[in-house]
Amino acid sequence: MRVSTLDQHPETQLHDLRQMAAQRSLEIVHEYTDRVSGAKARRPGLDQMMADARRGRFDVVLVWASDRLARSVKHFLEVLDELSRLNIEYVSFRENIDTGGPLGRAIIVVVGAVAELERALIVERVRAGMRRAKLEGHHIGRKALELDNTAIQRDRCQGQSLRQIAKAHRVSAATVRRVLSEHPPQALDKTA
Q: CB–CB of 151/170 below 8 Å?
A: no
**185 Cβ neighbours under 8 A, 6+ residues apart:** 153, 154, 156, 157
Catalytic annotation, pick one of 4, 66, 84, 172: 4
Question: What b/e readout covers 164-182, taking b as 16+ CB neighbours within 10 angstroms?
Answer: ebbeebebeeebbeebbee
User: Do residues 88 and 53 lie in contact, with contact meaning Cβ atoms separated by under 8 Å?
Assistant: yes
Cβ distance 152 to 176 under 8 Å? yes
4 counts as catalytic: yes
| Residues 5, 36 contacting (CB under 8 angstroms) | no
Render 12-45 in DSSP notation, one character per residue: HHHHHHHHHHHHTTPPP-----EES-TT-S--HH
Cβ(97)–Cβ(105) below 8 Å: no
Count other Cβ atoms within 10 Å, centred on residue 110.
10
Contact 97, 66 (CB under 8 A): yes
**Residues with catalytic function:** 4
